[in-house]
């Protein structure tokens, strides 16, 4: 016996034996792992601060007795292990590395403790003298076993090193295994007792045999045991080589090397590298062992599991230097990573919580929230409802993408966004076949792999921006299978080459327009329109979301910015004209930055007490400059031929516009100005035709056959000529403008109208009623004439405070419009008994 050592922490080994100069990998978790991690980290930090080489923690690794029948693995707790189940011998070990295991996304159960790979390098044998239990675990006092050799031992070591070991190496070299060179290096540098321990840990020995090697104290007896088992291994290799040669004389060198490598890996599956310098080989073995475990834990369907087993066997037989090895390894990594049966929400759906989440994240959008709540309610009742395929369509900045994130949060699911803008290759969606260099799975499978769950909320952003290439296929066609609930349970990715179930995924597509989406693809989605925000909605969003967010982002306190509602609304009206709130947020950020500069300057001069947190319109003018837009205001004076109409811009904002008509001597021509589109020009021609046809009933002509405008030209103009205008909703406004001009009667400046007309004089419904009415109310309009079929839009969408301030008139024909717009025709029955068209 040699020197003793006290107070070593015990790590029990189950069916494993640590021998000197051998590196052993253990999987530990729980309190024992946390303690070792703390000790390991503390030693590294302390030595780094002291500018010394790292002093790694030393532990005592003691195997369980074979009779203890312990079925636990390394991860089980050993903090309270009774010492009587441990054998009396062990090996001191130095912890050389601790690596946290990656979470396995394919596992359906979440372990409570983090698992670590702990690498322990064997140092010296010992015999346990006494044990002591403390809060950190079992500790032991040990007496090291000496490696000093007597004369008989030296003779045995000479025979072992000069005969047995060279014979073993020669057999390895015959099979041309790279491992032989590594062993040769150790033979020339290591003492014979240490070499014997290392070779015993490599060759095919049982747990009992390795335990006997550990518990044998005399060096001579250890050499005899190592020689016995090494000779047995040489005979096994000789027999296997002879059999392989008989079966296939054409076996290549690479195949023979792979064959022995597989055999040695099987022998050393639970053993670490040969020594501290053999890290590459050890990493390969550990990687394959971990990969196999992950594939087993992935719980794949039967067809996928069969493919994984077949491909893994191929990988084991390959050389790591082969180009196909990395391709096959990446493929198996994908199979192991995919969440075949893992879902991200195993909690009961709470409808109230989901509603609150949607309300907190977005203002308005009630119809979208209603649809999501409907889905949640049915899913809660039925349990296995197929996810809908939703498509949010609306102008930029109205919250389509952020709404998808809120839905994922409300559902307690993972969220993944796929940007489809500019995607033009079908392989981007379906993946590339593995035969191609640098092949990879498609965007769908990549997203699922990243989420680690088979039921995420997947946002297909800008689906209307997909491109089509004659040489790369049509990515929109590839999405047909993805977005079909009846087909996507067997989605086939070219790289995966296996059916994968997408039916649990909630797909949400976003688009700015439906015109560029192929009809078959559009047919598979449930389209939900998102309109632009009104100025009142923007005010609410700015007050509750944007302004607090920007104040916090710029490091100010809530009381250091005071911006009244009228100032925010004024900024929204005169500095932004968009459907969403992105420009409004950037504008508010500019104002807050200016206030930050003001506050910083005052504080530098010790004048911080003079800072005024209030922001006025004058302050905004100084900061942002002249407003690029003017607020819409109703005309102050009623003029014949000038009528106020209602407009709805493509950005989602409403507004008022003016239609001005004038006549002059001429030949009956119609002139249109004001950047008018084709549809609005057609409305002007329809309006003029209707007025001519009904001139007698309007008291413009004295007879039914009189050509009232044969000697006059008509000019219709819509101001703000730099702004393009189009659409049919100005039809009734143009009719009233012409009638007002030709009868020399004015429409009140506080009256506005909108609606499409037909040649028969019918008033047809138009869109954007909510935005139009709110903007008209803000401009001072107090009477609005609308199509009868738009009554439901006013009832459902217009705020109650606006409805209380406005008189609504609903018209079925243009005669209803004229009677309510022109005082000259009020309370008069103008409707003719027959049409003159």
CB contact at 8 A, 342 and 106:
yes
Q: Which of 220, 725, 770, 772 is catalytic?
A: 772
Q: How far is CA 675 from CA 366, 670, 732, in A?
A: 36, 15, 19
Angle, nearest 10°, between helix axes 165-174 and 219-247?
A: 20
Q: 295-301 — which CB contacts under 8 Å span 24+ positions?
A: 295/332, 295/335, 295/336, 297/104, 297/106, 297/107, 298/104, 298/106, 298/335, 298/336, 298/338, 298/340, 299/106, 299/108, 299/340, 299/341, 300/335, 300/340, 301/340
What separation in angstroms does the CA of 589 have from each of 283, 363, 547, 595, 722? 52, 20, 8, 10, 29
> Do 500 and 462 form a contact (C-beta atoms < 8 A)?
no
Compute the distance between CA of residue 78 and CA of residue 753 in angstroms, rounded to an integer: 83
* Alpha-carbon gap, residue 85 to 67, rounded angstroms: 8
Tell me the β-bridge partners of 764. 756
635 marked ligand binding residue: no
The 8-class DSSP code of residue 175 comes to T
The reply, when asked if residue 780 is annotated as ligand binding, is no
CA distance 101 to 40: 16
DSSP, res 610: G
Is 398 marked as a binding-site residue? yes
400 in a known ligand binding site: yes
Contacts of 573 (CB under 8 A, 6+ apart): 535, 629, 631
From 122, 142, 137, select the one nearest 9 (Cα to Cα). Answer: 137
Residue among 29, 139, 113, 133 nearest 73 (CA): 29
649 part of the active site: no
Q: How far is CA 285 from CA 22, 277, 282, 570, in A?
A: 15, 15, 5, 68
Dihedral angle of Cα 301, 303, 306, 312, to the nearest 10 degrees = -80
Altogether, the residues listed in the chain come to a count of 837
Number of helices (H), then strands (E), in the chain:
29, 24
Give the span between the Cα atoms of 488 and 819, in whole angstroms: 58
CB 673 within 8 A of CB 717: yes
Task: Specify the DSSP element, H or E, that contains 181.
Answer: helix 179-189
Annotation-wise, does 401 bind a ligand?
yes
Give the bridge partners for 64, in sequence order: 86
| Residue 613: HSE in the Cβ half-sphere, 13 Å Cα cutoff | 11
Tokens of 532: 């632009």
Query: Would you list the DSSP string of 720-748?
Result: -TTS-B--STTHHHHHHHHHHHHHT-PBP
**Of 729, 740, 749, 775, which one is the catalytic site residue?**
729
Please enumerate in sequence order all residues whose Cβ is within 8 A of that of 22, keeping only pairs 6 or more positions apart, or say none.
Answer: 121, 122, 197, 198, 201, 271, 272, 274, 275
Residue 145 DSSP class: P
**DSSP percent split of the chain into helix, strand, coil, nearest 5:** 45, 20, 35
Q: Is 397 annotated as a binding residue?
A: yes
Burial 665-695 (b: 16+ CB within 10 A, else e): eeeeebebebebeeebeebbebbbebbbbbb
Residue 261 CA to residue 267 CA, distance in Å, equals: 10
Give the integer Cα–Cα distance in Å for 574 and 769.
22
CB 713 within 8 A of CB 665: yes
Strand 506-511 and strand 457-461: the pairing is parallel
772 is catalytic: yes
Q: Which residues are annotated as a binding site for ATP?
A: 394-401
* Active-site residue set: 729, 772
């Amino acid at each position: 016996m040699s020197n003793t050592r006290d107070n070593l922490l015990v790590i029990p080994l189950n069916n494993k034996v640590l021998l000197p100069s051998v590196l052993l990998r253990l999987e530990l978790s729980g309190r024992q792992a946390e303690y070792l991690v703390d000790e390991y980290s503390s030693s590294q930090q302390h030595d780094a601060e002291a500018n010394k080489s790292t002093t790694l923690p030393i532990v005592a690794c003691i195997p369980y007795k074979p009779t203890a029948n312990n079925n636990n693995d390394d991860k089980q707790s050993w903090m309270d292990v009774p010492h009587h189940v441990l054998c009396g011998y062990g090996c001191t070990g130095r912890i050389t590395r601790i690596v946290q295991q990656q979470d396995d996304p394919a596992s359906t159960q979440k372990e409570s403790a983090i698992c670590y790979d702990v690498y322990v390098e064997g140092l010296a044998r010992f015999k346990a003298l006494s044990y002591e239990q403390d809060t950190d675990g079992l500790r032991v006092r040990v007496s090291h076993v000496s490696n000093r050799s007597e004369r008989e031992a030296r003779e045995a070591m000479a025979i072992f090193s000069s005969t047995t070991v060279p014979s073993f190496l020669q057999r390895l070299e015959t099979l041309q295994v790279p491992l032989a060179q590594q062993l040769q290096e150790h033979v020339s540098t290591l003492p014979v007792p240490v070499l014997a321990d290392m070779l015993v840990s490599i060759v095919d020995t049982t747990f009992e045999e390795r335990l006997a090697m550990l518990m044998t104290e005399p060096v001579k007896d250890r050499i005899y045991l190592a020689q016995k088992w090494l000779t047995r291994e040489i005979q096994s290799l000789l027999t296997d080589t002879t059999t392989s040669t008989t079966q296939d004389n054409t076996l290549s060198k690479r195949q023979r090397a792979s064959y022995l490598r597989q055999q040695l890996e099987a022998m050393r599956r639970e053993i670490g590298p040969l020594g501290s310098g053999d890290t590459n080989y050890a990493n390969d073995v550990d990687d394959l062992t971990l990969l196999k475990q992950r594939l087993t834990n992935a719980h794949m369907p039967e067809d996928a599991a069969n493919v994984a087993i077949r491909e893994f066997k191929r990988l084991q037989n390959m050389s790591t230097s082969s180009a196909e090895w990395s391709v096959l390894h990446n493929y198996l990594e994908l199979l192991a990573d995919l969440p075949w049966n893992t879902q991200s929400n195993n909690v009961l759906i709470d409808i109230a919580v989901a509603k609150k989440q949607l309300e907190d994240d977005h203002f308005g959008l009630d119809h979208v929230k209603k649809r999501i709540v409907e889905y949640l309610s049915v899913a809660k009742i039925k349990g296995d409802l197929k996810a809908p395929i939703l498509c949010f369509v609306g102008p930029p900045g109205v919250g389509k993408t952020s709404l998808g994130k809120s839905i994922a949060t409300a559902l307690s699911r993972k969220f993944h966004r796929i940007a489809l803008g500019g995607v033009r290759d079908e392989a981007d969606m379906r993946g590339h076949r593995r035969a191609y260099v640098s092949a990879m799975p498609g965007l769908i499978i990549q997203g699922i792999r990243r989420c680690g769950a088979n039921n995420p909320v997947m946002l297909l952003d800008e689906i209307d921006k997909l491109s089509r290439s004659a040489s790369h296929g049509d990515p929109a066609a590839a999405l047909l299978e993805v977005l079909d609930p009846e087909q996507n349970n067997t989605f086939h990715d070219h790289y995966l080459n296996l059916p994968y179930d997408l039916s649990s995924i909630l797909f949400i597509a976003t688009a700015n327009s439906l015109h560029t989406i192929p009809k078959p693809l559009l047919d598979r989605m449930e389209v939900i329109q998102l309109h632009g925000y009104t100025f009142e909605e923007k005010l609410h969003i700015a007050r509750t979301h944007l302004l607090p967010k920007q104040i916090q982002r710029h490091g100010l306190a809530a009381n250091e910015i005071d911006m009244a509602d009228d100032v925010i609304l004024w900024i929204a009206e005169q500095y932004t004209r968009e459907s969403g709130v992105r420009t409004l947020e950037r504008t508010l950020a500019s104002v807050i930055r200016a206030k930050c500069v003001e506050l910083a300057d005052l504080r530098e001069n010790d004048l911080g007490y003079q800072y005024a947190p209030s922001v006025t319109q004058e302050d905004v003018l100084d900061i942002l400059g002249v407003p690029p837009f003017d607020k819409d205001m109703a005309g102050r004076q009623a003029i014949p031929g000038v009528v106020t109409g209602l407009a709805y811009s493509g950005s989602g904002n409403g507004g008022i516009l003016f239609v001005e008509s004038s006549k002059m001597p001429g030949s009956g021509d119609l002139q249109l100005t004001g950047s008018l589109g084709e549809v609005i020009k057609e409305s002007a021609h329809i309006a003029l035709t209707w007025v001519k046809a009904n001139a007698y009933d309007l008291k413009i002509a004295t007879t039914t056959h009189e050509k009232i405008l044969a000697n006059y030209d008509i000019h219709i103009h819509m101001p703000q000529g730099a702004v393009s205008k189009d659409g049919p909703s100005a039809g009734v406004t143009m009719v009233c403008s012409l009638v007002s001009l030709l009868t020399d009667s004015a429409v009140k400046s506080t009256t506005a109208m909108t609606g499409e007309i037909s040649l028969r004089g019918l008033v047809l419904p138009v869109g954007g009623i909510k935005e139009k009415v709110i903007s008209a109310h803000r401009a001072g309009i107090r009477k609005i004439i609308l199509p009868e079929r738009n009554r439901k839009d006013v009832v459902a969408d217009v705020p109650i405070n606006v409805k209380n301030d406005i008189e609504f008139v609903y018209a079925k024909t243009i005669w209803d419009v004229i009677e309510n717009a022109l005082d000259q025709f009020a309370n008069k029955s103008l409707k003719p008994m027959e049409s003159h068209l």
